[in-house]
Structure formats: C-alpha cells, structure tokens
C-alpha cells in the first residue's frame, strides 16, 4: 500500500502538470481590464508584441524566464478584475445625459465630426417626430417585429437564413486576409452592406442579401431586424458598431432621395431641408435624425430600450460620402467591390462613421472608452465611472498657449503671450548653401516616411488632466506640457533645418514648445531654463491602442499588395513600384488607412467651420473631450524631432544634407535615381542605424519620386519646395506657403 506521503507527492506532481496560466482569452481580458496594451506588456517582459499576441490567441505558451513574471502579473490582475466583478457597461440610458441628449445618441457619435461621448449635445438634439406614422409610410414595409423581444428573435432567425451568393463572379475577397463574414455569430453578414438600385445589398465575403425596402424608414427596419449586419466592440467597456448601409446612386433614387443635393440651402448645409419628403417620412415612422440632419452620413435611430440599441448609419455615395482623396476611385466601382473595400477597412480599422478624419477620431474613443461600469458602494448599483487611461466624458480647456486665437479661453483671458507652433516641416535650404559637388549631382531623390504621425504616436506619453501653470519650472522630459523657453542659443548646422520651428528658421527668442521639442534641445547638450510652463501631471499612453491597430492594418494591407517585411531593399522598392496596380481595391484601403492617421490627428484641433463664427464663441468641435490641441502638438513635435534626428544622422554617416523637407518627405541630391545610391549601408549590406531606412512599417522610408537636379535647383531659386512636387514633377501648383 502506498504511504500518505507518496500519495501527496503524486497529487502534487499531477497538479504541476496542469495549466499554469489562465486560458488565452482570459489573458487578453485581464490585460484589457488593466488598461495595458500588448505593446506595453511586451516592453515590460522584454519580448515582442507578436509574442504577446501569440500567447493571447493560443498559438504559443510563455516559457521561462518570462513564465513566472507573466503568471504573477495575471494573478494580480485577476485579483483586481475578477471575471464576474464588473459587468458590461451600463445601457446608454444609465449614462449621464445632457438635458437634450437621447440615450441612443449618447452612446454613439452622431455624425461627421462627432465621437462616442456623453457630451456631444450639438450633434444629438433630435428633430421632433409626429406621434403616429401614416399608412403610406408602411405600405411597402415587410412584416417586422414591434417589440425588442420580437426584434431579437427576428434578428436571430434572419441570421440563420442563407444569403444569396454572388453570381459566379470574381471572388470579392481576392487576396484580402480579413476574417470571414460569420466571424461574430451576432453579425453573420459582416459590418456593412452596399445597396444597389434593384434591392440587392452586397455584404462581406461576396454575399448578396435581398432588401425589399423602398423607403428609408423601411431600410432602417430591415437593417436592424433582418440584415444580420453590425460589428463587435473593440474594447470590453465600449459598444458594438452600428450597421452601415452604403447607398449607391441607383439606391439613392430608389429610396426617394435626390441624386445630388439641390438648392442653395442644401448645398450650404450639406443636408436635406427639414421639409423634404424623406425627412418627413423618417420622422412620421417614429425614427429620429441627429441635429446634423440627413447629409452624406446620416444617423437614424430610436431611443434605446435598456441594452437594445436601434441605430443605423447610412453613407450616400453620390453625395460624396467617400472623399476621392481618401478613397481613390471607390465611388466609381461596382457594389461588390465597394463592399469588399469597406469591409476590409471595417475589419482592420473600424466601421466608417464619416470622413476618414472623423473615423480616425472615433477609433481613438472606441479603443479608449470614456466610461466603464463601477459599483456604487452606497447602493450597490452599477453606475458609469471614469475608465482609466481615457480622456473621460467632459471636455478640458486648453492652456492659453495651446489654444488658437478663436478659442474662448484666449478671448476671456486677453492672452497675448503667444501660441504653440508645433507644425510639420515646410523648409527649403538656401540655394547659396549648395556646394559645387551637390549641384553636379544628376538626380534629386525624394524619400517619404511611412505614416510618420502614426510612428510618432507610439509610446507617446500625453496629458490626461487639466493643465497646471508653473513659473520657473525645472524641465522634466517625462512631463507632457507646454514650455516657454529660449532656444535661440542652440546651434544647428545651417544646411539643416532648425528642429524647433516648422519653417526650419532659427528661433530668435523665447517661444512656446511641446515637451518633445525642448527635450531634443537638451539631448543636443544644451542647458534648458524655462520661464514658465503649463504641465499635466496625470499622464498616459492614450494613443497606444490606436497606434497598434492602425499599424497592424497598414502592414497587413501592404502585405496584401505584395509588400512584406521579409523583402530586401531592392525587392521592396520594386514591390512599392507596382503595389498600387496589384489590386486597386486594396490600394484604396491602404489610402484610407493613411488618411485615417493624418485626419484623426488633425481632428484633435478642429477649427471653427462656417463663415458666421465669431472669435471667442464656442464651436461644436471644442465641446467634445477629444478636442485636444496639446495631444496633436505632442504628436507633431515628436514627428518633427524624429525627422531632424534622422537628418542629422544622415549628415554624420554620409556627409549628405537635405535640399528640402515637407512634413514627412525629404529630398536629397543623389548620384543615381534610387535611394540605394545614397542611403548608408554597412559592409555587411545592412542599413546603418540612425539614418533613413527603407521598409514597409511606420517610420521607415519609401521612394517618393525622382527628378533631375537642375529641375530641383530651379524650384529652390524660385522659393518653391521641391519636396511638394518631387513625385509628379508638376511645379505649377500654388504652394500656399
């Protein structure tokens, strides 16, 4: 018979063989509950982000020496965030509401320019609907559920009905590596559909759904009850994306909408007049429009009942819902291709909710929801509370130097102390500083940094609180803020732009700078003595999840176009030369992702719109928590400093100096027509660290364009920036500088 000690030893051995970590999905849940990104966790454990992703999707398991620290971290997070401790966020009706804000509007951005927030009253005031819907509005309406319970059952049944496949056409998925349409059982047909003029709705994976709706009200009912469209939330404290229906020109006319907005009032406001028959029809059917009305991106909803949302987003293509600059060629494509493009974007980024700028801003909030459910210790009820790491639900006034002259903070204080001028480079070297050797080079080659603003947002610490005014502060590069400091004593080679001004001109006295700009002066070895500062002591890497998602989307889309990380520099240049022609649809997705980056950062300081605005009066954009000019300044400051650091390293490594810089594009004289003719490489053939490097990831470079050196010098002598025209060679355009 075995002894008791032997049995205990056997049991201990059996326990040791069991799982030492929670399941992969639980690991991801715990990390998200703690507000930590995969990139930050990877940094803490001194591994790669991909390794952390593998741990969380079950592809691999951590091993010593990282196993024990990772287990301890998960155990601590499990104690702080037990699985049943915090339910999903409360229904919209439980969130704090402005007096005119409906529950449905409070939980979603209302229209272009708005973001998910409980403080967007200007975009959320509904137009009043009559008490009853006339029979005419229901004439062509299919039998639809009338209660939330019936709607849920109807939606479940509809999701089980097979959709009509596309006629043996080309596969709409192509080479795109996006999840299948049924990835989420609640949304079996994907996030969106494109409606043609024959009642066919083209959805993800090449599916065609029969849509019997002939009015906008019927279309909304069908979308919510029978379409199986929508997308899951991106954060456990966030909300699912409402379904998007894209209207082609024939669909627009089928639904009784004008093919183009007509009339002076409609052109000016970019929306239908309130007396338009379609607007009346929507209101009579007891649906509501946001205060922005029925424009290119109308949002149609009914107040939420408990957790049951009733909201549909439309995009009207003939009304220029998809800007050709961000979505090149998409509007002219056929519905299946449009569906493929928008679905790929929605899977990788987020379901579009307006322009790419609006969508970029919404993505920030979707990945950092402002609230989470917390338990009131007095009542035991679950109430909305601040979600750590987010910007919250209330707007924060900027410090006077961070604002713009139109802002009420400036007008109320009579501020005359100057403003932050953290903008991207627009610099051209003085022609007199060109050497004979440079003038004799046959070519000028432009390099463009991939999504430079996205690269600058990685691991960027920004302020999350109100600014605190400090006089004679000691400079601390770890504190985000705005510093009044004299950097005119910092010497820079005149063949390089100054790192402290967007024009590249040398500063002449005290000025306001963001933390990264001042830290760079200190990095160059100079003493820094700020006169005063506005500092934010509650900080966080707010943009990290935004960076991670867009970086992955950018890399995956480039890979679909044949541009992968394993290519040599020669192969990379060749792949970039042909990538736009490899698949025009995915090339459009790539363009939209890049526009989302730039537009999202730009929206952080959206200026007043319209001619009637007066200085000192508030405007809609500044009433949202994401109106944060200081965060925009921090991103641009870091991007400009990153550019200057590379320029200085290139001079040190190669003795070459730039001819011009425009934002993320730099032009160099070159003995040949390729970047390979002047970029620094070690004897082993590997790129020298510190300078510009070719590659497909954010922050690395690609070829922007090549022109003759004589052409470039001619532009410089005329005061034009060759970096603006190096790609096309067209220098007739107005510089606007």
pLDDT in tens, 436-476: 999 999 999 999 999 999 999 999 999 999 999 999 999 99
Q: Answer yes or no: are the C-beta atoms of 159 and 182 closer than 8 Å.
A: no
Angle at 46 between CA 42 and CA 47, to 5 degrees: 60
Work out the average pLDDT over 236-251: 95
For residue 185, name the pLDDT band (cuts at 50, 70, 90).
confident
| 421, 470, 491, 635 from 528: Cα distances, Å | 19, 15, 13, 21
Q: Which residues of 688-714 are buried (b: 16+ CB within 10 A; e: fewer)?
A: beebbbbbbebbbbbbbbbbebebbbe
Work out the average pLDDT over 692-701: 96
Collapse the DSSP code of 687 into the 3-class scheme (helix H, G, I; strand E, B; otherwise coil) and give the result.
Answer: strand
Which pairing describes strands 244-247 and 192-195: parallel, antiparallel, or unpaired? parallel
Q: Is the pLDDT of residue 358 over 50?
A: yes
For residue 170, name the pLDDT band (cuts at 50, 70, 90).
very low
Supply the pLDDT for residue 478: 96
When mean pLDDT is compared across 116-120, 273-277, 383-387, 593-597, the lowest value belongs to 116-120
Which pairing describes strands 308-316 and 244-247: parallel, antiparallel, or unpaired? parallel
Measured over the CA atoms of residue 561, residue 566, residue 570 and residue 571, the dihedral's sign is negative
Supply the pLDDT for residue 728: 83
Supply the pLDDT for residue 203: 96
Q: Answer yes or no: are the C-beta atoms of 423 and 711 closer than 8 Å.
A: no
- Phi/psi at 321 (5° precision): -65, -35
Angle subtended by helix axes 277-284 and 216-225, to nearest 10: 40
Other beta carbons within 10 angstroms of residue 555's beta carbon come to 18
| 33, 524, 638, 651, 695 from 459: Cα distances, Å | 19, 22, 11, 27, 20
Work out the average pLDDT over 584-605: 97
Work out the average pLDDT over 661-690: 95
Q: Answer yes or no: are the C-beta atoms of 299 and 311 closer than 8 Å.
A: yes
For residue 60, name the pLDDT band (cuts at 50, 70, 90).
confident
Q: What is the dihedral of CA 246, 252, 258, 259, to 10 degrees?
A: 80
- For 599, counting Cβ atoms within 10 Å of its Cβ (0-12 exposed, 13-18 middle, 19+ buried), the class is buried
Domains in the chain: boundaries: 20-80, 92-126+192-375
Q: Answer yes or no: are the C-beta atoms of 288 and 126 closer than 8 Å.
A: yes
Candidates 553, 554, 518, 550; CA nearest to 533 is 518
Say how many Å lie between the first and final Cα of the chain, rounded. 92
Q: Answer yes or no: are the C-beta atoms of 509 and 501 closer than 8 Å.
A: no
**For residue 311, is it left (φ>0), alpha (ψ between -120 and 50) or beta?**
beta
Supply the pLDDT for residue 184: 80
Q: Is the pLDDT of residue 145 over 60?
A: no
Other beta carbons within 10 angstroms of residue 718's beta carbon come to 11
| Helical residues (DSSP H) of 185-238, grouped into ranges | 216-225
Work out the average pLDDT over 359-386: 93
DSSP type of residue 533: E
Length of the chain: 737
Which H or E run includes 12?
helix 4-17
CA 303 to CA 288: how far, in whole Å?
8
In sequence order, which residues have a C-beta less than 8 Å from that of residue 116 and are 6 or more positions away?
Answer: 107, 108, 109, 238, 239, 362, 365, 366, 369, 370
CA 392 to CA 646: how far, in whole Å?
36
CA 340 to CA 92: how far, in whole Å?
32
- Average predicted confidence (pLDDT) for the chain: 84
Preceding amide of 462 cis, omega within 30: no
Q: Is the pLDDT of residue 87 over 60?
A: no
Which tokens is 333 given? 């494509």
Supply the pLDDT for residue 9: 61
Between 622 and 113, the more confident residue is 622
Supply the pLDDT for residue 430: 96
Work out the average pLDDT over 191-207: 96
Q: Is the pLDDT of residue 398 over 90?
A: yes
| 82, 100, 127 from 96: Cα distances, Å | 26, 11, 21
Work out the average pLDDT over 549-577: 96
Candidates 446, 467, 466, 460; CA nearest to 542 is 460
- Phi/psi at 463 (5° precision): -80, 140
For residue 731, name the pLDDT band (cuts at 50, 70, 90).
low
Q: Is the pLDDT of residue 49 over 60?
A: yes
Which tokens is 276 given? 């338009």
**For residue 466, is it left (φ>0), alpha (ψ between -120 and 50) or beta?**
beta
pLDDT in tens, 698-728: 999 999 999 999 999 999 999 999 999 999 8
pLDDT in tens, 268-320: 568 899 899 999 999 999 999 998 899 999 999 998 776 678 999 999 999 99
Q: Which residues of 623-662 are buried (b: 16+ CB within 10 A; e: fewer)?
A: bbbbbbbbbbbbbbbbbbbbbbbbbbbbbebeebbbbbbb
For residue 328, name the pLDDT band (cuts at 50, 70, 90).
very high
Between 16 and 606, the more confident residue is 606
Which CATH number is 20-80's, of 1.10.260, 3.40.50, 1.10.1060, 2.30.30?
1.10.260
CA 163 to CA 201: how far, in whole Å?
10
Please give the share of the chain, as a percent, with pLDDT higher than 90: 66
Q: Answer yes or no: are the C-beta atoms of 488 and 507 closer than 8 Å.
A: yes
Q: Is the pLDDT of residue 93 over 60?
A: no
């Amino acid at each position: 018979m075995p002894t008791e000690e032997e049995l205990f030893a056997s049991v201990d051995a059996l326990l040791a063989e069991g799982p030492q970590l929670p399941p992969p999905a639980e690991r991801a849940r715990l990390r998200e509950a703690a507000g930590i990104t995969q990139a930050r966790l990877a940094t803490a454990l001194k591994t790669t982000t991909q390794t952390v992703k593998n741990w969380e999707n079950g592809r691999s398991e951590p091993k010593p020496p990282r196993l024990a620290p990772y287990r301890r971290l998960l155990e601590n997070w499990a104690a702080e965030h037990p699985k049943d401790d915090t339910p999903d966020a409360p229904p919209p009706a439980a969130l704090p509401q402005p007096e005119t804000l409906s529950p449905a509007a409070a939980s979603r951005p209302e229209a272009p320019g708005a973001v998910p927030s409980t403080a967007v009253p200007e975009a959320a005031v509904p137009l009043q609907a009559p008490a009853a819907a006339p029979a005419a509005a229901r004439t062509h309406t299919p039998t639809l559920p009338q209660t939330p319970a019936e709607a849920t059952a109807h939606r479940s049944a509809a999701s089980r009905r097979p959709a009509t496949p596309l006629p043996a056409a080309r596969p709409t998925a192509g080479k795109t590596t996006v999840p299948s349409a049924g990835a989420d059982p609640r949304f079996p047909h994907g996030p969106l559909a494109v409606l043609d003029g024959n009642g066919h709705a083209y959805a993800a994976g090449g599916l065609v759904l029969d849509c019997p709706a002939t009015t906008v009200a019927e279309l909304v009912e069908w979308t919510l009850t029978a379409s199986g469209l929508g997308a899951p939330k991106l954060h456990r404290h966030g909300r699912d994306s409402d379904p998007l229906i894209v209207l082609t020109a024939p669909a627009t006319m089928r639904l009784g909408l004008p093919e183009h907005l007509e009339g002076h009032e409609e052109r000016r406001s970019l929306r239908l007049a309130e007396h338009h028959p379609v607007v009346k029809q929507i209101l009579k059917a007891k649906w509501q429009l946001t205060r922005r009305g029925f424009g290119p991106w109308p949002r149609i909803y009914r107040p939420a009942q408990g957790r049951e949302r009733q909201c549909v987003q439309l995009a009207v293509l003939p009304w220029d819902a998809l800007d050709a600059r961000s979505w090149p060629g998409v509007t002219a494509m056929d519905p299946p291709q449009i569906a493929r493009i928008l679905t790929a974007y929605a899977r990788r980024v987020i379901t579009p909710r307006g322009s790419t700028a609006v969508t970029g801003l919404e993505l920030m909030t979707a990945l950092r929801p402002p609230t989470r459910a917390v338990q009131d210790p007095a009542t035991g009820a679950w109430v909305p509370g601040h979600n750590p790491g987010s910007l919250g639900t209330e707007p924060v006034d900027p410090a006077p130097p961070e604002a713009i002259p139109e802002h009420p903070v400036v007008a109320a204080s009579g501020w005359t102390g100057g403003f932050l001028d953290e903008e991207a480079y627009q610099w051209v070297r003085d022609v007199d500083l060109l050497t004979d050797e440079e003038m004799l080079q046959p070519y000028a080659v432009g390099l463009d940094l991939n999504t430079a603003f996205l690269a600058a947002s990685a691991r960027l610490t920004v302020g999350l609180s109100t600014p605190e005014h400090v006089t004679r502060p000691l400079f601390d590069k770890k504190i985000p803020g705005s510093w009044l400091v004299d950097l005119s004593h910092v010497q820079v080679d005149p063949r390089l732009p100054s790192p402290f001004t967007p024009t590249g001109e040398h500063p002449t006295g005290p000025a306001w700078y963001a933390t990264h700009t001042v830290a760079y002066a200190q990095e160059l070895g100079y003493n820094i003595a700020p006169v005063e500062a506005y500092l934010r002591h509650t900080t966080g890497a707010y943009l990290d999840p935004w960076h991670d998602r867009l970086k992955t989307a950018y890399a995956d889309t480039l890979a679909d176009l044949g541009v992968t990380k394993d290519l040599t520099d020669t192969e990379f240049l060749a792949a970039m030369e042909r990538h736009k022609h490899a698949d025009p649809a995915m090339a459009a997705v790539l363009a939209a992702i890049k526009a989302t980056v730039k537009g999202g950062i730009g929206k952080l300081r959206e200026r007043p719109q319209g001619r009637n605005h007066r200085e000192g009066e508030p405007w809609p954009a500044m009433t949202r928590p994401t109106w944060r000019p200081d965060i925009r300044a921090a991103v641009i400051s870091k991007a400009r400093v990153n550019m200057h650091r590379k320029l200085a390293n290139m001079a040190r490594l190669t003795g070459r100096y730039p001819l011009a810089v425009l934002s993320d594009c730099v032009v160099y004289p070159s003995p040949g027509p390729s970047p390979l003719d002047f970029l620094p490489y070690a004897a082993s053939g590997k790129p020298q660290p510190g300078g510009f490097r070719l590659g497909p990831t954010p922050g690395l470079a690609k070829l922007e364009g090549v022109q003759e050196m004589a052409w470039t010098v001619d532009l410089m002598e005329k005061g034009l920036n060759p970096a603006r025209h190096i790609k096309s060679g067209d220098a007739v355009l107005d510089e606007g500088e």
